[in-house]
């Protein structure tokens, strides 16, 4: 009799453990789906900010053909516009590594590698952009100050103020993008248990 009771209790315990395991598996699947959706949304936000910045840069390019910039040499304007178009093209190229479709059911390890590559390319461009500005700003200053007239000095002041504001906005977008990508890589590492070098 006592043996039958123990067997019944043991079977009940096994059923409860099995039920608990199924619930945990379902919860894990739901949690993983939520995490994947969160990763996808973070990367969509990075891409959206990036494309808005690209649209602003393309919108600014025609301003360099405005007569108020007549005091700049054709070389200066050509280099400036070329740099802006190269920056947009590079940004669009890098954004191809942020494919958001694969986060729902794709291979996260491959995505982590792409994100690491994105971060590396983004850092390289950031360094190049700073080096370019170290040449461009003195060139801008030289051309504005050697041009005759009070108007050129006002453009210089406006250009420097605009440069500081634009640089601050650009750096903020860069940092937010890098931080979001780092968070997604960390989430992938937690889900897959693999450490990627980034």
Asked if residue 22 belongs to a domain, the reply is: yes
What is the per-residue pLDDT across 132-174, written as a single tens digit (0 to 9) for each?
988 988 888 787 777 655 566 677 777 778 878 888 888 888 8
pLDDT at 93 > cutoff 80? yes
Residue 139 lies in a domain: yes
Q: Exposure of 132 by Cβ count < 10 A (0-12 exposed, 13-18 middle, 19+ buried)?
A: middle
Domain enclosing residue 25, as ranges:
2-192
Residue 97 banded pLDDT, cuts 50, 70, 90: confident
Question: pTM to 2 decimals?
Answer: 0.69
| Long-range CB pairs of 96-101, under 8 A, 24+ apart, other chains included | 97/121, 98/43, 98/46, 98/47, 98/181, 100/40, 100/43, 100/44, 100/47
Give a yes or no: residue 21 inside a domain: yes
Number of domains in the chain: 1
Place of tokens 């990627």: 196
- Tell me whether residue 198 is in a domain: no
């Amino acid at each position: 009799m006592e043996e039958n009771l123990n067997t019944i209790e043991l079977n009940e315990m096994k059923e409860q453990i099995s039920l608990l395991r199924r619930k945990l598996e379902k919860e894990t699947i739901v949690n993983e789906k939520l995490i994947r959706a969160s990763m996808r949304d973070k990367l969509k936000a990075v891409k959206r900010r990036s494309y808005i910045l690209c649209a602003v840069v393309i919108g600014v390019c025609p301003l360099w053909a405005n007569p108020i910039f007549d005091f700049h040499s054709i070389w200066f304007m050509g280099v400036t516009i070329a740099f802006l178009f190269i920056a947009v093209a590079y940004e669009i190229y890098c954004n191809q590594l942020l494919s958001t479709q694969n986060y729902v059911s794709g291979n996260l390890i491959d995505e982590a590698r792409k994100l690491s590559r994105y971060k590396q390319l983004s850092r390289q461009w950031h360094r190049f952009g700073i080096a370019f500005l170290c040449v461009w700003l003195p060139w801008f200053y030289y051309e504005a100050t050697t041009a005759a007239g009070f108007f050129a000095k006002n453009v210089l002041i406006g250009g420097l103020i605009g440069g500081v504001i634009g640089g601050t906005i650009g750096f903020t977008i860069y940092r937010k993008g890098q931080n979001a990508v780092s968070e997604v890589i960390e989430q992938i590492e937690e889900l897959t248990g693999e450490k990627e070098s980034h």
